[in-house]
């Protein structure tokens, strides 16, 4: 469908999910209900999200030589993802995430990164060499920061569009921001990066501008069910999400980023791309699991987007 390749550089995990009425506090055992084991990891989730929406996706991840790694590769093959840049680590296990989800769809996650921690710059040199200026790179922070920095700087040199999803939240080298076309933090991540707590439209605008002041060209702050705040040099606005009842927000952000990349690869304007990503992510959070919840293109067209934009409370 698209001539632009979406190259996802990131992590692959196996998610073990327990759904219960509430999240446990330290020292507490909560008797839950449903258990499921599903493929996950931010990089893998974003790649699958983009592939299911028709994107031409290449994936650079590192998995272990174990049952989880083999299952992940089989899953990527089913999704028709290009695995030329995916490698198997003979020494370290595949990444695993333990996820608790409560009745409202909120979650807490503990990750054992395994092979993801050993995805080094040398592992991704070839993929950057092969990319063209019209391609898009999507990257997150579940892999070593030196690899993230390497990819972003190389892409800046080659004038390749990079989308950084700065998750899980961590501080970044100050000179890296100027190399970024687009950053997509949520409220937690943007507070860590700027020191500004986002509680309403005014603070979202301030936080987005703070990132632009650091050198990022375009900022999208994802705001869960409220949608996303977009700040460019010409525009600052809240783009609403369709109202849905969330049951599991685990892969909502990953779904948003994968959909955003597909829309941009299709040469959609940024504002339209954000609206599309909000729409796709709103479907994802109505279902359990990470990759299991990611919608296909045919499902997205069934959801209306005619809702009244409303500001944050």
C-alpha–C-alpha distance, residues 142 and 157, integer Å = 23
Asked if the structure places residue 312 within a domain, the reply is: no
Whether residue 29 is contained in a domain is answered as: no
For residue 42, the enclosing domain spans: 5-23+34-300
Residue 308 included in any domain: no
Task: Give 253: exposed, middle or buried? Use CB within 10 Å, 0-12, 13-18, 19+.
Answer: buried
Mean pLDDT of 257-267: 94
In a domain? residue 45: yes
Helices (H), 218-269: 252-265
Mean local confidence (pLDDT), 209-217: 97
Q: Is 225 annotated as a binding residue?
A: yes
The whole-number pLDDT of residue 118 equals: 98
255 annotated among ligand-binding-site residues: no
Is 13 assigned a ligand-binding role in the annotation?
Answer: yes
pLDDT at 45: 94
Q: What is the pLDDT of residue 312?
A: 30
Q: Residue 15: pLDDT above 70?
A: yes
Domain assignment of residue 311, yes or no: no
In the chain, the number of structural domains is 1
| Mean pLDDT value across residues 154-163 | 97
pLDDT at 302 over 70: no
pLDDT value, residue 241 = 87
Q: How far apart are CA 198 and CA 313, in angstroms?
A: 11
Q: Is 254 known as a binding-site position?
A: yes
Q: What percent of the chain has pLDDT above 90?
A: 73
On whether 27 is known to bind a ligand per the annotation, the reply is no
Residue 28 lies in a domain: no
For 203-228, what is the mean pLDDT? 95
Instruction: Give CA–CA dist 265/262, Å, rounded.
Output: 5
According to the annotation, is 215 in a ligand binding site?
Answer: no
Q: What is the distance, to the nearest Å, from the Cα of residue 147 to the centroid of all Cα atoms in its chain?
A: 17
pLDDT tens per residue, range 34-63: 898 888 899 999 999 999 999 999 999 999
CATH number at residue 114: 3.40.1190.20
| Catalytic residue chosen out of the listed positions 89, 129, 254, 308 | 254
Assigned domain for 177 exists: yes
pTM above 0.75, yes or no: yes
233 is annotated as an active-site residue: no
pLDDT confidence of residue 293: 79
């Amino acid at each position: 469908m698209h001539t632009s390749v979406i190259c996802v550089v990131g992590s692959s995990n196996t998610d073990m999910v327990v759904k219960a009425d509430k999240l446990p506090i330290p020292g507490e055992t909560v008797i839950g209900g449903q258990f499921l084991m599903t493929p996950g990891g931010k990089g893998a989730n974003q790649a699958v999200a983009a592939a299911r929406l028709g994107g031409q996706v290449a994936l650079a991840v590192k998995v272990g030589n174990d049952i989880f790694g083999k299952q992940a590769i089989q899953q990527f093959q089913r999704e028709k993802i290009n695995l030329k840049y995916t490698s198997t680590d003979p020494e370290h296990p595949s990444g695993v995430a333990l996820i608790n989800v409560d009745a409202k769809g909120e979650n807490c996650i503990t990750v054992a990164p395994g092979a993801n921690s050993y995805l080094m710059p040398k592992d991704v040199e070839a993929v950057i060499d092969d990319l063209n200026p019209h391609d898009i790179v999507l990257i997150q922070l579940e892999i070593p920061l030196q690899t993230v920095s390497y990819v972003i700087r190389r892409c800046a040199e080659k004038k390749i569009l990079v989308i950084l999803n700065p998750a899980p939240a961590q501080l970044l080298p100050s000179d890296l921001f100027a190399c970024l076309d687009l950053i997509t933090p949520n409220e937690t991540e943007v507070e860590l990066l700027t020191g500004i707590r986002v509680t309403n439209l005014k603070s979202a605008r301030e936080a987005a501008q703070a990132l632009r002041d650091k050198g990022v060209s375009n900022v999208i702050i994802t705001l869960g069910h409220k949608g996303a705040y977009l700040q460019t040099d010409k525009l600052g606005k809240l783009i609403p999400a369709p109202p849905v009842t969330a049951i599991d927000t685990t892969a909502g952000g990953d779904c948003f980023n994968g959909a955003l990349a597909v829309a941009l690869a299709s040469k959609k304007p940024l504002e339209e791309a954000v609206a599309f990503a909000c729409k796709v992510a709103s479907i994802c959070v109505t279902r359990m699991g990470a990759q299991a919840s990611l919608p296909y293109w045919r499902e997205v067209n069934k959801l209306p987007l005619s809702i009244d934009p409303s500001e944050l409370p």
